[in-house]
A and B are shown apart, each in its own frame.
Chain A
Amino acid sequence: MNLKKRLYLKLVLFLAIITVLNLSLVAQTFDAVKSRVKVHTLKSGMKFIVLERHEAPVVSFHIYADVGSANESYGITGISHLLEHMAFKGTKIVGTKDYEAEKTILVELDALFDQIKGEKAKAKPDAKKLEEMEKKFEALRKKAKEYVITSEADNMLMKEGDRIINAYTSNDATQYIDSLPSNKVEFWMAMMSDRFFNPVFREFFKERDVVMEERRLGVETRPTGRMFEDFFATAFKAHPYGHSVVGHMSDLENITRRDVEQYFKKFYGPSNLTVGIVGDVKAEEVFKMAEVYFGRIPSGPRPEPVRTKEPEQWGERQVIIEAKSQPRIIIGYHRPDYRHKDNIPLEALANILGQGRSSRLYELLVKDKKVAVTVMSFNGFPGEKYSNLIAFYVIPSRGHTSAECLELIDEEIEKVKKELVTSDELTKFKRGNVKSLLNEMKSNSSMAALLTYAEVVLGGLDAAFDQIEQIRAVTPEEVKYVANKYLIKKHRTIGEIVPEK
Chain B
Amino acid sequence: MKLQRKLITLFLASFLSILFCGSSVYAQKSPKDKFIFPQLNPIKMPKVERVELKNGLELFLVEDHEYPTIDMRAMVRLGSVFESASKIGLASMTGRVLRTGGTTSMTGDQIDKELETMAAYVSTGIGLTSGYITVSVLKEDIDRALEILADILMNPAFKEDKIYLAKIREKTAISRRNDEVGQIAYREFQKLIYGKDSPYARHPEYATIEAITRQDIVDFYNKYFFPNNIIMAVWGDFSPKDMVAKIKKALGKWKEKEAEVPALPKVSYEYKYTINYINKSDVNQSNIMLGHIGGLRDNPDYPALSVMNSILAWDRMYKKIRTDEGLAYSVWGYYGANYQVPGVFRCEAQTKSESTVYAIELMLKELKRIREEEVSSAELARAKDEYLNSFVFNFDSRAKIVNRLMTYAFFGYPLDFMDRVKKGVEKVTKEDVLRVAKKYLRPDKVQILVVGKKEDFDKPLATLGEVNVIDIKIPPLKPQKKTGN
Contacts and interface: CB of A to CB of B under 8 A. Distances in A.
Nearest to A40: B18
B263 interface: no
Contact of B8 (A291, A338, A437, A439): A437
A357 interface: yes
B392 A158 contact: no
Contact of B69 (A11, A40, A435): A435
B359 to A, nearest CB: 10
A375 interface: no
Contacts of B329: 210-211, 213-214, 217
A443 B280 CA distance: 41
A468 B9 contact: yes
Contact of A380 (B2, B350, B391): B2
A257 interface: no
A57 B16 contact: no
Contacts of A26: 68, 138
A384 to B, nearest CB: 6
Contact of B11 (A11, A33, A155, A291): A33
A15 B118 CA distance: 8
A397 B172 contact: yes
A69 B305 CA distance: 41
Nearest to B396: A56
A358 B113 contact: yes
Interface in B102-118: 105-106, 109-110, 112-114, 116-118
B25 interface: yes
B258 interface: no
Nearest to A438: B67
B377 interface: no
Interface in B94-151: 100, 105-106, 109-110, 112-114, 116-119, 136, 138, 140, 144
B162 to A, nearest CB: 9
Interface in B442-457: none
A4 B105 contact: yes
Contacts of B386: 158-159, 161-162
Contacts of B140: 22, 25
Contacts of A158: 314, 382, 385-386
Given A221-B181, A358-B109, A160 B389 contact: yes
A445 to B, nearest CB: 10
A211 B175 CA distance: 32
Interface string B253-273: 000000000000000000000
Given A56-B43, A398-B172, A442-B397, A206 B324 contact: yes
A182 B41 contact: yes
B66 A431 contact: no
Interface string B279-292: 01111110100000
Contacts of B43: 56-57
A183 B39 contact: yes
B119 A434 contact: yes
Interface in A355-380: 356-358, 363, 366-367, 370, 373, 378-380
Interface string B31-63: 111010111111110000000000000000000
Most buried by B among A187, A212, A221, A457: A221
Contacts of B396: 55-56, 58, 444
B9 A458 contact: yes
Interface in A162-190: 162-163, 179, 181-184, 186-187, 190
Contacts of A308: none
A38 B10 contact: no
A312 interface: no
A461 B109 contact: no
B418 interface: no
Contacts of B13: 31, 34-35, 37, 461, 465
Interface stretch (B163-171, B211-219, B338-346): B163-171
A443 B397 contact: yes
B1 to A, nearest CB: 7
A400 B269 CA distance: 42
Contacts of B12: 34, 37, 451, 454, 461, 464-465
Interface in B373-432: 381-382, 385-386, 388-393, 395-397, 399
A399 B421 CA distance: 51
Interface in A144-165: 145, 150-151, 155-156, 158-163
Given A181-B392, A217-B329, A379 B171 contact: no
A27 B10 contact: yes
Given A29-B67, A160-B389, A184-B35, A467 B6 contact: yes
B117 A428 contact: yes
Interface residues of A, number: 133
Contacts of A160: 385, 389
A159 B26 contact: no
B32 A435 contact: no
Contacts of B165: 366-367, 370
B319 interface: yes
A434 B117 contact: no
A462 to B, nearest CB: 7
B116 A357 contact: yes
Contacts of A183: 37-41
A179 B325 CA distance: 29
A442 B117 CA distance: 22
Contacts of A347: 3
B270 to A, nearest CB: 33
B91 to A, nearest CB: 19
B interface bracket (residues with beta carbon within 8 Å of A)? 35 or more
A357 B106 CA distance: 16
Contacts of B42: 57
Interface in A315-361: 323-326, 338, 347, 351, 356-358
Contacts of A465: 9, 12-13
Contacts of B68: 25-26, 29, 438
B11 A34 contact: yes
A162 B5 contact: no
B328 interface: yes
Contact of B32 (A93, A182, A280, A370): A93
Nearest to B177: A326
B18 A210 contact: no
Nearest to B350: A217
A19 B180 CA distance: 43
Given A437-B8, A454-B5, A467-B6, A427 B117 contact: yes
Given A156-B31, A216-B352, A357-B116, A437 B10 contact: yes
A222 B282 CA distance: 10
A378 B2 CA distance: 9
Given A209-B327, A373-B169, A454-B5, A58 B392 contact: yes
A159 B386 CA distance: 5
A182 B40 contact: yes
B117 A190 contact: no
B8 A161 contact: no
Contacts of B100: 357
B28 A296 contact: yes
B282 A323 contact: yes
A366 B138 CA distance: 28
B118 A19 contact: yes
Most buried by B among A33, A162, A379: A33
Most buried by A among B9, B109, B330, B390: B9
Contacts of A11: 114
Interface in A263-316: 280, 283-284, 287-289, 291-293, 296
Most buried by B among A22, A179, A181, A207: A181
**What are the 7 tightest A-B residue pairs by CB atom distance, in nearest-first order?**
A30-B11, A161-B389, A209-B326, A206-B326, A464-B9, A39-B15, A161-B390
13 contacts: A25-B68, A29-B68, A55-B396, A57-B40, A161-B393, A206-B324, A213-B327, A216-B352, A326-B172, A347-B3, A367-B165, A437-B10, A465-B9
Given A181-B390, A216-B285, A500-B282, 5 more contacts: A93-B31, A161-B385, A194-B30, A357-B112, A471-B10
